[in-house]
């Protein structure tokens, strides 16, 4: 996998731009028929042109870099549409016309909580990174295919002929982060989860494993009781409640991927449940 430049980590959905939540809500749920809520009445759902969306995404992803897409943002548009960003969300992004990803993400949450989660997901971020890398080639890692300091030359000092060589198709790539399903607070089989307070510590632990900075961890801690109340009232099975109370620091994929029952996975991906979780974190008093 190509090394990402500092610019892509800042511009393409950086941690500072996250409105909280992200991969733990999005994950594989982005394409779910039950996960896409309707836009608010105040937001136009009229389909925008790919050209206008490309310009808007170009402004967001390349903000502050002085660079822009060579294809008018077509690669970025394909990425957004591939992850099923709704017409209403696309219209909002174009209408906003902003280069402030944080402001766009916060505003988009009012249009659709799931669209906001898709926009903030690492899956879409990775797709945007590919588009960015096509314009600004990534910097090779030191000692990867060149000299000690990343410069071409046997002694690592002569960089005149430095050439970036992308990994061969058969070359071993860095392993993706693996989920950790080990419970932090083991819950004995058969234990009944009869109050939301039994879920608070576990949910804070699991959600915090997805946090990209200390501010997000503080947000999850502050909203723990609210998150627990939403989960307790959602109608999950006791098996899933015990799993969530255990607080496994999953940290990869979507939490719904690891719930033990399909019925519970549907609840987790549902519009009302997702929106309620987002509201908890958005209103947390940190």
Helix, strand or coil, per DSSP, at residue 203: helix
DSSP state of 169: T
41: Cβ contacts below 8 Å, ≥ 6 apart? none
Task: Identify the H or E element spanning 117.
Answer: helix 113-120
The rounded percent of the chain whose pLDDT value lies above 90 is: 29
Here the tokens at position 220 are 């999850």
Q: Is 18 helix (H, G, I), strand (E, B) or coil?
A: coil
Answer yes or no: pTM beyond 0.85.
no
- 93 close to 104: Cβ distance less than 8 angstroms: yes
- Pairwise pLDDT comparison (80 vs 137), residue with the higher score: 80
Residue 58, both tokens: 């170009």
Residue given tokens 């494993």 in the structure block = 209
**Alpha-carbon span 193 to 240, nearest angstrom:** 10
Is pLDDT at 235 greater than 50 in this prediction?
Answer: yes
Please give the span between the terminal C-alpha atoms of the chain, in angstroms, as a whole number.
37
- Of the given ranges (33-42, 112-121, 126-135), which has the lowest mean pLDDT? 33-42
Alpha carbon 219 to its chain centroid, in Å, reads 16
Mean pLDDT, all residues of the chain:
73
The residue among 35, 92, 98 whose CA lies nearest residue 278 is 35
Cβ-contact 201, 224 below 8 angstroms: yes
Lookup: tokens for 150: 């990343």
The candidate with the shortest Cα–Cα distance to 241, out of 260, 217, 266, is 260
Which helix (DSSP H) or strand (DSSP E) does residue 101 occupy? Answer: helix 101-111
What's the pLDDT band for 156 if we cut at 50, 70, 90? Answer: very low
Asked whether the CA dihedral 251, 255, 257, 261 is positive or negative, the reply is positive
Mean pLDDT of all residues in 207-224: 87
Query: At a CB cut-off of 8 Å and minimum separation 6, what does 282 contact?
Result: 19, 20, 109
CA 190, 192, 197, 200 torsion-angle sign: positive
| Confidence at 14, pLDDT banded by 50, 70, 90 | very low
3-class DSSP state for residue 132?
Answer: helix
CA 26 to chain centre: 7
**Residues 225-236, mean pLDDT to the nearest whole number:** 94
| pLDDT value, residue 251 | 85
Longest dimension (CA), the chain: 68
């Amino acid at each position: 996998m190509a090394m990402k430049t500092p610019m892509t980590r800042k511009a393409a959905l950086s941690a500072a731009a996250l409105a909280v939540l992200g991969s733990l809500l999005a994950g594989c749920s982005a394409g779910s028929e039950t996960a896409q809520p309707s836009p608010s009445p105040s937001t136009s759902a009229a389909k925008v042109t790919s050209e206008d969306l490309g310009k808007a995404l170009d402004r967001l992803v390349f903000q502050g870099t002085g660079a822009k897409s060579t294809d008018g943002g077509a690669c970025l548009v394909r990425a957004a549409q591939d992850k099923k960003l709704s017409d209403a969300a696309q219209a909002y992004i174009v209408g906003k016309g902003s280069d402030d990803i944080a402001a766009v993400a916060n505003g988009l949450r009012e249009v659709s909580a799931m669209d906001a989660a898709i926009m903030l997901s690492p899956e879409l971020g990775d797709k945007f990174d590919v588009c960015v890398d096509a314009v600004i080639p990534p910097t090779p890692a030191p000692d990867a295919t060149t000299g000690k300091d990343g410069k071409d030359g046997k002694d690592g000092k002569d960089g005149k002929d430095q050439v970036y060589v992308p990994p061969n198709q058969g070359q071993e790539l860095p392993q993706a982060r693996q989920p950790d399903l080990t419970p932090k607070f083991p819950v004995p089989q058969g234990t009944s989860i009869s109050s939301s307070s039994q879920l608070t510590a576990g949910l804070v632990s699991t959600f915090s494993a997805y946090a990209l900075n200390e501010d997000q961890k503080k947000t999850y801690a502050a909203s723990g009781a609210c998150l627990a109340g939403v989960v307790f009232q959602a109608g999950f099975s006791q098996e899933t409640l015990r799993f969530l109370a255990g607080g496994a620091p999953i940290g990869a994929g979507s939490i719904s991927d690891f719930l033990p029952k399909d019925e519970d996975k549907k609840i987790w991906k549902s519009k009302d449940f997702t929106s309620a979780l987002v509201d908890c974190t958005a209103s947390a008093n940190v």
